[in-house]
């Protein structure tokens, strides 16, 4: 799964990237088009428990690939123009699965404020509008070619279908609605998948607040942004990028003590990662043993054969039964797989069983 961090300059994108990946990328390099990429584990206390119980030789948590940077934003030439998005602003995130939109909700005399001052809602609306316009530009360019082919009676049947679907999406965008809110059939989605519409991607709003606001969810900026996010059905998480970046450089024990002293139960880093995971409708199931404890990522609603295929195609091809232990039963058993099985916690499930988040599986198969 790939998640792209986007946002305006001076919002804390690189600081957040450093916090999530525990990196130390240089900050405040306006105009820098370098793309930063990192793979980070998805925090999951169930996985940690399984590792502690089984003491495996190898551990493989679920992961997310994170990208930041590469977007070109140009300064306005005259006062009042504001920043302008380069033509390739969204080019580097069309290949990602979800977008993490960083919004500035902090005041800092050392960090230049945008034209008109800090306004989290205005900023969120501006970026979301740019997402719509980016998709609309792509569609209009393609429709022009399709229309020309139709007028010259050279349009194929597939192109005629594509034309109809793009007209539908264009009307939706012109009504200021993102592609992700448009009800498209599986066939329609397949026909336009290559466009990788940016307004069709799962989206999370990340409000970067000041250090003095950590732990407070009732600021006027967050209330306003929260109402907007709820209206748009977009998850919103508040965090302090500066603080999170500092915390990410600490040793685990030092980090826990620091967060407790700040009255913070969990690093926003972990909440953001899990929010990205959930936004894509993903869940984890586990395979456990002395050799390896591994978290496997599947889409919510995947059946047992689909889960087996995730592990290896041979398991799906020769699938017989899934041996399954729920995580709660696994935890109560107080040991690894054999202990839970001996305690009578294992059951057998067939091909159509819908795997649940946290299930622990062994697959019986014969090829």
Both tokens of 115, joined, read: 């034209």
pLDDT for 87 equals 54
pLDDT for 78 equals 46
Q: Rounded CA gap, 120 and 339, in Å?
A: 52
pLDDT for 278 equals 83
pLDDT for 80 equals 47
Give the side-chain half-sphere CA count within 13 A for 328: 2
User: Could you tell me the end-to-end alpha-carbon distance of the chain, in angstroms, rounded to an integer?
Assistant: 30
- Cβ neighbours, 10 Å, residue 251: 8
* Contact yes or no for 5/40 (Cβ under 8 A): no
Q: Rounded to the nearest 5°, which phi and psi values hold at 40?
A: -125, 145
Between CA 41 and CA 187, with CA 310 as vertex, the angle to 5 degrees is: 105
pLDDT for 116 equals 82
User: What's domain 301-365's architecture?
Assistant: Roll (3.10)
* Contact yes or no for 55/290 (Cβ under 8 A): yes
Per-residue confidence in pLDDT tens, the chain, 367 aa: 889 999 888 899 999 999 888 887 877 665 556 788 999 898 899 999 999 999 999 999 999 899 887 655 555 544 444 555 655 667 777 888 899 999 999 988 888 878 788 899 999 999 999 999 999 999 999 999 999 999 998 999 999 999 999 999 999 999 999 999 999 999 999 999 999 999 999 999 999 998 888 777 778 888 999 999 999 999 999 888 888 888 888 888 888 888 888 777 778 778 888 888 888 889 999 999 999 999 999 999 999 999 999 999 999 999 999 999 999 999 998 888 988 899 999 999 999 999 999 999 999 999 7
pLDDT for 231 equals 93
- Cβ neighbours, 10 Å, residue 79: 7
Residues listed for the chain: 367
Q: Rounded CA gap, 288 and 303, in Å?
A: 19
Of 188, 168, 177, nearest to 131 by C-alpha is 177
What does the DSSP assignment read for 257-287?
HHHHHTT-SS-HHHHHHHHHHHHTTEEEEEE
* Contact yes or no for 364/305 (Cβ under 8 A): no
SS3 label, residue 45? helix
Element of type H or E holding 325: strand 319-325
pLDDT for 203 equals 93
Decide which of 1.10.150.300, 2.30.38.10, 3.40.50.300, 2.40.50.140 is the CATH code for 130-199: 1.10.150.300
What does the DSSP assignment read for 108-171?
-TTSPPPTT---HHHHHHHHHHHHHHHHHHHHHHHHHHHHHHHHTT---HHHHHHHHHHHHHHH
SS3 label, residue 326? coil
Fold topology of 2-42+62-114+202-279: Rossmann fold (3.40.50)
Q: What residues does each domain of the chain span?
A: 2-42+62-114+202-279, 130-199, 301-365
SS3 label, residue 296? strand
Under 8 Å CB-to-CB from 348, ≥6 apart: which residues? 321, 322, 323, 324
pLDDT for 246 equals 87
Burial group, residue 37, by CB count within 10 angstroms (0-12, 13-18, 19+) = middle
Q: Write down the H helix ranges in the chain.
A: 13-21, 45-54, 120-151, 157-174, 186-192, 220-232, 241-248, 252-261, 268-279, 304-311, 313-317, 327-333, 337-342
Both tokens of 37, joined, read: 């990429």
Strand-by-strand arrangement of the 347-349 sheet: 58-60, 292-299, 282-287, 360-365, 319-325, 347-349
Instruction: Estimate to the nearest angstrom the gap between the alpha carbon of 175 and the chain centroid.
Output: 26
């Amino acid at each position: 799964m790939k998640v792209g961090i986007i946002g305006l300059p001076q919002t804390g994108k690189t600081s957040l990237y450093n916090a999530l990946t525990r990196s130390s990328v240089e900050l405040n390099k306006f105009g820098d088009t370098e793309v930063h990429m990192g793979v980070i584990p998805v925090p999951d206390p169930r996985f940690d428990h399984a590792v502690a119980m089984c003491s495996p030789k190898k551990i493989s948590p679920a992961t997310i690939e994170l990208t930041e940077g590469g977007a070109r934003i140009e300064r306005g030439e005259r006062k009042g123009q504001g920043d302008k998005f380069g033509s390739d602003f969204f080019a580097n995130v069309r290949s990602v699965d979800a977008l993490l939109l960083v919004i500035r909700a902090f005041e800092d005399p050392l960090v230049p404020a945008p034209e008109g001052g800090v306004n989290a809602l205005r900023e969120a609306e501006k970026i979301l509008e740019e997402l719509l316009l980016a998709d609309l530009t792509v569609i209009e360019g393609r429709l022009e070619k399709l229309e020309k082919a139709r007028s010259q009676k050279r349009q194929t049947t597939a192109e005629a279908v594509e034309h109809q679907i793009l007209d539908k999406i264009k009307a939706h965008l012109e009504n200021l609605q993102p592609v992700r809110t448009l009800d498209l059939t599986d066939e329609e989605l397949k026909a336009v998948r290559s466009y990788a519409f940016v307004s069709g991607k799962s989206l999370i709003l990340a409000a970067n607040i000041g250090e003095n606001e950590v732990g407070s969810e009732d600021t006027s900026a967050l209330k306003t942004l929260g109402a907007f996010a709820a209206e748009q059905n977009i998850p919103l998480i508040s965090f302090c990028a500066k603080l999170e970046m500092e915390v990410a450089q600490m040793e685990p024990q030092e980090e826990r003590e620091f967060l407790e002293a700040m009255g913070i139960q969990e690093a926003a880093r972990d909440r953001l990662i899990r929010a990205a995971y959930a936004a894509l409708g993903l869940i984890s199931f586990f395979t456990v043993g002395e050799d390896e404890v591994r978290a496997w990522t599947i889409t919510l609603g995947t059946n047992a054969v689909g889960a087996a295929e995730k592990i290896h195609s041979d398991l799906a091809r020769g699938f017989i039964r899934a041996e399954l232990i729920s995580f709660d039963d696994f935890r109560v058993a107080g040991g690894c797989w054999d202990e839970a099985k001996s305690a009578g916690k294992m059951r057998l499930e067939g091909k159509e069983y819908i795997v649940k988040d946290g299930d622990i599986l062994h697959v019986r198969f014969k090829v």
